[in-house]
Amino acid sequence: MPARPLPDPSTAPGAPGAVGKAFLNVRDAAEYLGLSPCTLYVWRHRRQGPPSFRMGQRGRVMYRLEALEAWVHEQEQADSRSNPALSPLSAAAQHRSGYTASA
């Protein structure tokens, strides 16, 4: 199966021609995030992952492109490897009270 083209994130919602790219279905959202659609379904069931909602009479699960981008940014900030403020290497050394080192 040929790869589907990813939505252009530079086309912000509200911009001309962005109507079709403001919302992604599960398959497109999974492809955008580099995940399996099954992963998104499991996350939705567990109330994890990026925010989603049901749209239309058939209740298709959809994701806002801007919400996906915000969720990815949150994941980056929560990871100590990409956020120096969370890195244990930048934290001050902790000393235990009443602890004596024995050699």
Residue range 63-88, pLDDT digits in tens: 999 999 999 999 888 877 767 776 66
> Quick one: tokens of 50?
């990026």
Residue 62 CB contacts under 8 Å (≥ 6 apart), including other chains: 23, 24, 25, 52, 53, 54, 55
CATH number of 23-75: 1.10.10.10
Three-point CA angle 11, 59, 65, nearest 5°: 20
**Domain ranges in the chain?**
23-75
pLDDT at 4: 56
Q: How confident is the model at residue 60 (pLDDT cuts 50, 70, 90)?
A: very high
Strongest mean pLDDT among 12-21, 33-42, 71-80, 86-95: 33-42
Q: Is the pTM of this model over 0.85?
A: no
